[in-house]
Amino acid sequence: MSTRARLTVTVNGRTYTREVESRRLLVDVLRHDLGLHGTHVGCEQGVCGACTILLDGEAVKSCLMLAAQVDKRSITTVEGLAEGNDLHPLQQAFRDAHGLQCGYCTPGFLLSAVAIAGRGVVLQGAALREELAGNLCRCTGYHNIIEAVERFLRQASGARGDG
Amino acid sequence: MKPAPLEYLVAETREEALAALERYDGNARLLAGGQSLVPLLNMRLVRPTAVIDINRIPGLNAIAADDGVVRIGALARYSALESSATVRDRLPLLARAIPFIGDRQIRNRGTLGGALCHADPAGEMALCAVTMGATLRIAGHGAQRELSAAELFQGPYTTALEATEMLVEAVFPAAPGTVATVAEHARRHGDFAVVSVAAAGLPGEGEIWRWIRIGLGAVADRPLYARRASERLAGTRLEPDAIREAARLCLEDAEPASDIRASAEYRRHLIPIYVERVLVELRQRRAGADPGEAHR
């Protein structure tokens, strides 16, 4: 058996094939092998949520998966949100509501919130804070993050016509 | 914090996983949700020669109701248990416990089987398994066996599983009409429990309870089924005297230790308080009131 693994993975719609060390964490492959530096490394033990990505649409922490596990799977990172220079509506909401200060935690929050919208639920207040409890922010005190995500979820449900 | 070099194998079937465990002779770890194993790998608290990924084994995540029991495959993820109507209706204790586990991302990956095999004395799934008296189905190379939850947990992060065995299914007794509740004291929201208490009971005639089962987490080297308190409460109306007596028996049966999260003395202070809260809440839930999430 080898300590290397070969994987083919779709990230933000583009397919990559790489051979990596079996011990390599998914977040490190995204950053170092694929050059997608938007996914951040915080605690490396599954507490801070800075490395949150979408795996087949579900929010997961990419420091708690080996890269080899995502062979033949589909991933969305923060780089997959904007279209060219047009911010994703959630990114625009963060900008409008001042939902970030240093920005380190922001990619994780964005992906967690996109996953909530993907499930078609409009969460607010305490329920939304609970759903975002896996993402830590040390600057904002969360108020403006929650405000931004609430705005985005209302907007997303309005666009679907169920709001 | 990166894992030490390791080999990575995908097991496509249960037999492949067992054969690989045999081949590595105790030096391989099964990878289910990875939400406890990968932090341990990252911190190099465990350094297996190989990691055997069982996530692609078909059918290992099934959740099914069956003649008085609910069968849950080892790979069933918390998020699946959270949204399962079978769990909500027939195994309410599990449904009440899951919101205390980690956070959304953790619950999207973490599995029942992984949690049970991790055997954290503060773990919610371990607590539910001993409280309900679940049976664990274990597969080994060419042999199957069953263990009760009380037999599975041998100490902190230690189970009765051989290094060449795998947990395939947990079978929970599930009586229709069971009422259940869980309360937990933690330093921070979503953090590991300092003390956790689980209770389930079956209402009988009038205000009588036919049976009640209480479990205690994080108060010993493994989760405890509080047998004496549970037996004391069977056939009662959960009147204040019975509740106080049960709380006292739970405290007597606990063997709390001091650790980074709390002192043994503080845990002893909390145990009767949380047992009383859980039992009062159980009575309220039976009456149809939703006590809310006041004890989170």
pLDDT for residue B175: 84
Q: Which of A80, A97, A118 is the last residue of a domain?
A: A80
pLDDT for residue A163: 46
Structure tokens given for B19 = 């054969």
The verdict on a CB contact (< 8 Å) between A44 and B42 is: yes
Residue of B nearest to A3 (CA): B7
Could you say which architecture CATH assigns to the domain B179-286? 2-Layer Sandwich (3.30)
The runs of H, that is alpha helices, within chain B are: 14-24, 37-42, 78-82, 85-90, 92-97, 104-109, 112-118, 124-132, 149-152, 227-233, 240-253, 264-286
The average confidence (pLDDT) of chain B is 95
Q: How far is B101 from chain A (nearest CA, A)?
A: 11
CATH topology of domain B7-52: 3.30.43
Q: Which CATH class is domain B63-173?
A: alpha beta
Q: How many domains does chain A have?
A: 2
Give residue A46's domain range. 4-80
pLDDT for residue B294: 46
Report whether pLDDT(A162) > 70: no
Is the Cβ of B64 closer than 8 Å to some Cβ of chain A?
A: no
The verdict on a CB contact (< 8 Å) between A46 and B38 is: yes
Report the residue from A23, A60, A133 with minimal CB separation from B3: A23
Within 8 A of B38 by CB-CB distance, chain A residues are: 25, 46, 63-66
pLDDT (tens digit per residue) in A72-126: 999 999 999 999 999 999 999 999 999 999 999 999 999 999 999 999 888 999 9
Residue of A nearest to B41 (CA): A23
pLDDT (tens digit per residue) in B122-146: 999 999 999 999 999 999 988 899 9
Report the residue from B9, B43, B53 with minimal CB separation from A1: B9
Residue of B nearest to A62 (CA): B105
pLDDT for residue B296: 44
pLDDT (tens digit per residue) in B189-208: 778 999 999 999 999 999 99
| Residue whose C-alpha is closest to residue A46's, from B120, B33, B174 | B33
Dihedrals phi, psi of A137, to nearest 5 degrees: -130, 130
| pTM for this model (two decimals) | 0.95
Average pLDDT over residues A123-144: 96
Report whether pLDDT(A160) > 80: no
The verdict on a CB contact (< 8 Å) between B3 and A25 is: yes
Question: What ipTM was predicted for this assembly?
Answer: 0.96
Average pLDDT over residues A147-161: 89
Query: If pLDDT is split at 50, 70 and 90, which confidence band does B174 have?
Result: very high
Average pLDDT over residues A39-49: 96
Q: Where are the domains of chain B?
A: 7-52, 63-173, 179-286
Same domain, yes or no, for A73 and A136? no
